[in-house]
Amino acid sequence: MDKTAPPSPASYGRAHRALEIASIAFVFGSLLWIAVRMVAATHTVGGWIAIALAAVGGYIVSDFLSGFVHWAGDTVGDETTPIFGPNFVRPFRFHHVDPEDITRHDFVETNGNNCIVATPVLLTLLVIMPKETGLLFYTSALIAFTAFFVFCTNQFHKWAHTKTPAPWVRLLQRAGLILSPEHHVVHHTSPRDKYYCITVGWMNPVLDKIHFFRFCEAVITRVSPRALRPDPADRPPQNEADAAIAMPS
């Protein structure tokens, strides 16, 4: 392994695992509570259409957020950057060194960190979500769906790297309803500077078309030129496409 490659983010203590388990339990419990409230408050077809739109909107927002955070982890700062370095730079860059490492994580390690991030958001929703439908109700629904799909993101990303996913997972991947290996391999192919979104990938062609991440990099270069690591030589080594993702049949 290249000496510039970040070490495995395996410093995984029992206290952090306990926090992950507690966060997963809280996320499941609070999403269930929010779902019950949605069902109890929605009595019209229009209301259910609004809920469905909130679900699709939450999926798109989550896809965008996954891309933005992933881009930042791959591109901005280094492992010594306070808070951001150990939590985002190291895991995202290590993922390019050993793309299959994610497939060796169990359910808690795969999904725990995203649940920790979602916890304060859901905690807020438990307080502010009204019992009756209205703007705040549907906004809360949109945020709840976003939190749910943020929770799903690492799982979908893991499945995109899994050699033999369950048939129903493969079906969802082929239908383009969750991140597919065929789509995600674009990100793992040199120069690895696009297709950062890893929930479903719907936002990837859009963000690529409008040069969104090049714009972000231009802004950062202007504000703090040394914060950016756009030079491929500065990035950790990457197994090339066919080695990075084994395509399931």
> Which residues contact Zn ion (rule: CB under 5 A)?
74
CB nearer Zn ion, residue 94 or residue 151: 94
Closer CB to Zn ion, residue 98 or residue 139?
A: 98
Q: How far is the CB of 70 from Zn ion (least distance, A)?
A: 6
Q: Name which of 37 and 183 has its Cβ closer to Zn ion.
A: 183
Least separation in angstroms between CB 71 and Zn ion: 8
Which helix (H) or strand (E) segment holds residue 188: the answer is: none
Nearer to Zn ion, 35 or 241 (CB): 241
- DSSP string of 37-92? HHHHH--SHHHHHHHHHHHHHHHHHHHHHHHHHHHHHHHBS-TTSTTHIIIIIHHH
Indicate the residue among 20 and 74 with the shorter CB distance to Zn ion: 74
The two structure tokens encoding residue 141: 């629904």
According to DSSP, residue 168 is labeled H
CB of 178: closest distance to Zn ion in angstroms? 13
CB of 234 to Zn ion, least distance (A): 14
Encode the chain in three state secondary structure. CCCCCCCCCCCCCHHHHHHHHHHHHHHHHHHHHHHHHHHHHCCCHHHHHHHHHHHHHHHHHHHHHHHHHHHHHHHECCCCCCCHHHHHHHHHHHHHHCCCHHHHCCHHHHHHHHHHHHHHHHHHHHHHCCCCCCHHHHHHHHHHHHHHHHHHHHHHHHHHHCCCCCHHHHHHHHCCCCCCHHHHCCCCCCCCCCCCCCCCCCHHHHHHHCCHHHHHHHHHHHHCHHHECCCHHHCCCCCCHHHHCCCCC
Residue number, 190 or 221, with CB nearest to Zn ion:
190
Q: Judged by CB, which is closer to Zn ion: 63, or 74?
A: 74
Least distance in angstroms from the C-beta of 84 to Zn ion:
15
Minimal distance in Å, beta carbon 190 to Zn ion? 12
Closest chain position to Zn ion (CB):
74
What minimum distance in Å lies between the beta carbon of 73 and Zn ion? Answer: 7
